[in-house]
Amino acid sequence: MPSRDPLVELSQRFTAAIRAAFPDAPDADPLIAPCKNPEHGDFQSNAAMGLAKRLGLKPRDAALALVARVDAGDLIEPLTAASIAGPGFINIRLRPQALASMLAALDSPSLGIEPAQPPTTIVVDLMGVNLAKQMHVGHLRSPIIGDAIARTFERLGHTVVRQNHVGDWGLNIAMVTGRLMREIAQGRTRLETLTLDELDRAYVAAQAECQRDLAGLEAVRRFGLGPKAEAELGEQVAGATEAFTLARQTLINLQKKDPATYAVWQRIYQVTMQTCVDVCKTLAVNVTDEHTAGESTYADELAPMVQDVLDRGIAVHDQGAVIIRVDEPPAGPDGQPLWKPIKEPCIIRKTDGGFLYATTDVCAIRRRVQKLGGARLIYVIDARQNLHLRQVFAASIRAGYSIRKETGTPAHMEHAAFGAVLGEDGRPFKTRSGDTVRLADLLAETFGRAEQALKAAATQRGETLEDAEAREIARAVGIAALKYGDLSTDRTKDYLFSFDRMLAFEGNTGPYLLYAYVRTRSILRKAAERGMGEAWKAAPFSATEPAEKQLALALLRYPGAVAGVAEALEPHRLCQYLYDLAGAFSVFFDRCPVLAAEPGARDSRLRACALTARVLADGLGVLGIPTIERM
RNA sequence: GCGGGCGUAGCUCAAUUGGAUAGAGCAUCUGACUACGGAUCAGAAGGUUAGGGGUUCGAGUCCCUUCGCCCGCGCCA
């Protein structure tokens, strides 16, 4: 039985040929890849050049030796000296029969993606909202990229645990909680009707009133700006100091769960998380209450954790703080250092006895490995946090918290970093007035623009779109535009945000892919309307036209494309694949009539359309982009 | 100062991790149809891959160096 994936099948045959021809290099990679240029062939092996270098042969001789030993069977056309091109590329053509049977095999419920054996547990950190703060563009990339990565592993049959590491604890939260309690006491705010907007304002106000302008006071004194200025600033500092002291008291009350204080905090939590979960739902991001693991849930673990590492001599006192040094990594099983030396130590307790986010993050690693069973931890967090994460990873390895019981080795921890969101001027994305863009506004504008564009297109076709239907389709188009726009470029680079570009119906965009999908569905719908039955669903694939063959080859690359995303944690590979597939389908659509073809070709082409539709929908699903039937 | 990242067509991005003539889309120009959804397809033009040096059959990719931009750097999260 032929494999569904020609890459796998060809790799096996070439590996066997390498072992037979070059016993001294049995482990050499066959380096099978699809040909970029269809004129060269369907696939190519680039193994000969490497082998030649390694064994001191002429590349062409190595290629000849390989060509002579590859078992072509009924899979590929026989390889000859004429198959060798350039310095030693071996060009490969599939036999039509093999192509047809592989395609038929792909046309299964799994679409050629077999569940991982054995599945592993992967924890994905994919969001970090803060209590009492309005969500803004900065919160966009993590859930979009993180959810796509999570869905990829789920699709491959792994167990995924999503974690929303909510910033819901600490002095900043205590400040706003304290402020809110006073506002309530004064009758200026009501807990029952509290909104996130009010919370956001209270947060900013609380920050401001706790901000002691000591530097300003110093300057006033130094430059002798007069007793009045000094008195004003002195008053501010005194007020801020008082507010600060109050916030500290609130934090203490929170920590011991003083009922009045805790009730206000809970309400703040509720209002913030409701908005967060709503946004995720709107965006079709799979993050719900069950995925939230706020910093508050680690509060009781911090002090004992620090004590534990102190007791074991892993952490030390330094300049009044408690730190874990990470500049001398121990060697792992392979003799290599477990991480790259980091000069800056990981601080886990401040001089004043307070804890930091590093303290929480070390506890989070412990929970994710020891309790949640994570064999692999993926942090989808912006690139600026790289040093912090490396410190925390290293510290948790030293502390033994990330050592898996099953294997005795550290869980694999990765930072899937992403760049900043920039405006079209290349500066951080802001509103015209320079404020940060609220997520709610951004979504509204996306959906609004999508709806307008859809209506305009409908008018041009001479159709009218009902408001309700337009809105519904605009939602899907907007989500596709927003998510695909973000996912389709290398996540590590900064991302230039542009409504016009992401919402364009042409080019490598979400709407274009939805359109391609809609066209596949439209043909199938028409086939049903014209009573073409269901027999075509089992029709043999025949690829007589070049466009049919290119579509078939594109379809066969699907399992590899999904696997590639998992390997590199780079969803843009799947985007590129889907765009290629949509392009191959468009050419096919242009060249090969389906419904009007004679019955044999028609059935084969109908089946190709159906398979294309399923791969497009499945692939978009892996990216977290829902499809629609019409647009 | 130290550390990390980036620099590819006018613009926005790719390049299967060292492979064939560096590919797409947008914008520009030229063709194709009274259309299975033209929101399409075919073609043209556009490049010293920031500059220089090196490694080898072969470099956008690896090493060295210069320039430019972004980010981080023990008691914020």
Which bases on strand B have an atom closer than 7 Å to a protein beta carbon? Answer: 2, 4-6, 12-17, 19-21, 24-27, 36-42, 56-58, 70-77
Residues 192-251 of chain A sitting with CB below 7 angstroms of strand B: none
Give CA–CA dist A239/A244, Å, rounded: 8
Strand B within 7 A of A320 CB: yes
Q: Render pLDDT for A151-175 as a digit per residue (tens, 0 to 9).
A: 999 999 999 999 999 999 999 999 9
Confidence band, pLDDT 50/70/90 cuts, at residue A230? confident
> CA A350, A353, A354, A359 torsion: positive or negative?
positive
**Would you tell me how many other CB atoms lie within 10 Å of the CB of residue A235?**
10
Strand B within 7 A of A494 CB: yes
Nucleotide nearest to A342 in CA–C1' terms: B3
- As assigned by CATH, the class of the A6-94 domain is alpha beta
Residue A333 main-chain phi, psi, to 5 deg:
-55, -30
* CATH number listed for the domain at residues A510-623: 1.10.730.10
Does A2 score more than 60 pLDDT?
A: no
Give CA–CA dist A106/A556, Å, rounded: 7
The residue behind tokens 């402020």 is A179
Protein-to-nucleotide distance from the CA of A30 to the C1' of B45, whole angstroms: 39
**Would you tell me how many other CB atoms lie within 10 Å of the CB of residue A474?**
24
Protein-to-nucleotide distance from the CA of A389 to the C1' of B53, whole angstroms: 37
Question: How many CA atoms within 13 Å lie on the side-chain side of A77?
Answer: 14
Give the pair of three-digit tokens for residue A344. Answer: 């800056």
Exposed, middle or buried: residue A482 (CB in 10 Å: 0-12, 13-18, 19+)? buried
Nucleotide nearest to A580 in CA–C1' terms: B24
- Which protein residue's Cα is closest to nucleotide B15 at C1'? A36
Q: Render pLDDT for A499-547 as a digit per residue (tens, 0 to 9).
A: 999 999 999 999 999 999 999 999 999 999 999 989 999 999 998 899 9
**Would you tell me how many other CB atoms lie within 10 Å of the CB of residue A344?**
13
User: What's the average model confidence in pLDDT over A570-576?
Assistant: 97
Q: How far apart are the first and last CA of chain A?
A: 40
Strand B within 7 A of A489 CB: yes
Residues 336-395 of chain A sitting with CB below 7 angstroms of strand B: 343-345, 347, 350-352, 354-357, 360, 383-388
HEC profile for A114-174?
CCCCCCCEEEEEEECCECCCCCEHHHCHHHHHHHHHHHHHHHCCCEEEEEECCECCCHHHH
Strand B within 7 A of A530 CB: no
Please tell me the predicted confidence (pLDDT) of residue A3: 65
Give the pair of three-digit tokens for residue A235. Answer: 């008053």
Please tell me the predicted confidence (pLDDT) of residue A434: 85
Protein-to-nucleotide distance from the CA of A33 to the C1' of B16, whole angstroms: 7
Please tell me the predicted confidence (pLDDT) of residue A442: 95
Nucleotide nearest to A519 in CA–C1' terms: B37
A18 in Cβ contact with A116 (< 8 Å): no
Please tell me the predicted confidence (pLDDT) of residue A229: 75
Nucleotide nearest to A465 in CA–C1' terms: B37
Give CA–CA dist A373/A308, Å, rounded: 21
Give CA–CA dist A162/A177, Å, rounded: 28
A91 in Cβ contact with A533 (< 8 Å): no
Give CA–CA dist A385/A17, Å, rounded: 47
Does A65 score more than 50 pLDDT?
A: yes
Confidence band, pLDDT 50/70/90 cuts, at residue A569? very high
Buried b (16+ CB within 10 A) or exposed e, A293-313: bbbbbbbebbeebbebbbeee
Confidence band, pLDDT 50/70/90 cuts, at residue A213? low
Please tell me the predicted confidence (pLDDT) of residue A57: 87
- Which protein residue's Cα is closest to nucleotide B19 at C1'? A46
A33 in Cβ contact with A43 (< 8 Å): yes
Q: List chain A domain ranges.
A: 6-94, 121-166+293-415, 171-256, 439-502, 510-623
User: What's the average model confidence in pLDDT over A227-244?
Assistant: 77
Please tell me the predicted confidence (pLDDT) of residue A456: 87
Residues in chain A: 631
What is the percent of chain A with per-residue pLDDT over 90, rounded to a whole number? Answer: 81
Average pLDDT of every residue of chain A: 92
Give CA–CA dist A343/A549, Å, rounded: 56
Cα→Cα distances A325→A301, A314, A366, A395, Å? 21, 8, 18, 7
Strand B within 7 A of A427 CB: no
A64 in Cβ contact with A84 (< 8 Å): yes
Residue A348 main-chain phi, psi, to 5 deg:
-115, -10
DSSP string of A85-107?
Answer: ETTTEEEE-B-HHHHHHHHHHHS
Q: Cα A371 to chain center, whole Å?
A: 24
Could you tell me the CATH superfamily of domain A121-166+293-415?
A: HUPs (3.40.50.620)
Q: Render pLDDT for A111-121 as a digit per residue (tens, 0 to 9).
A: 999 999 899 99
**Would you tell me how many other CB atoms lie within 10 Å of the CB of residue A621?**
14
Strand, coil or helix: what is A29?
A: coil
Give CA–CA dist A200/A205, Å, rounded: 9
CB contact set of A59 (below 8 Å; sequence gap of 6+): A48, A49, A52, A53, A87, A88
Please tell me the predicted confidence (pLDDT) of residue A629: 94
User: What's the average model confidence in pLDDT over A210-228?
Assistant: 69
Strand B within 7 A of A55 CB: no
ipTM given for this complex: 0.95
Q: Are strands A376-379 and A412-415 parallel, antiparallel or unpaired?
A: parallel
Confidence band, pLDDT 50/70/90 cuts, at residue A1? very low
Exposed, middle or buried: residue A83 (CB in 10 Å: 0-12, 13-18, 19+)? buried
What is the percent of chain A with per-residue pLDDT over 70, rounded to a whole number? Answer: 98
Strand B within 7 A of A535 CB: no
Question: Which element (helix H / strand E) includes A520?
Answer: helix A510-529
Does A227 score more than 80 pLDDT?
A: no
Nucleotide nearest to A572 in CA–C1' terms: B14
Q: Render pLDDT for A140-150 as a digit per residue (tens, 0 to 9).
A: 999 999 999 99
Strand B within 7 A of A154 CB: no
- Of residues A622 and A334, the one with the higher pLDDT is A622
Give the pair of three-digit tokens for residue A250. Answer: 């609130």
Among A313, A270, A302, CA closest to A400:
A313
Nucleotide nearest to A340 in CA–C1' terms: B3
Give CA–CA dist A218/A224, Å, rounded: 10
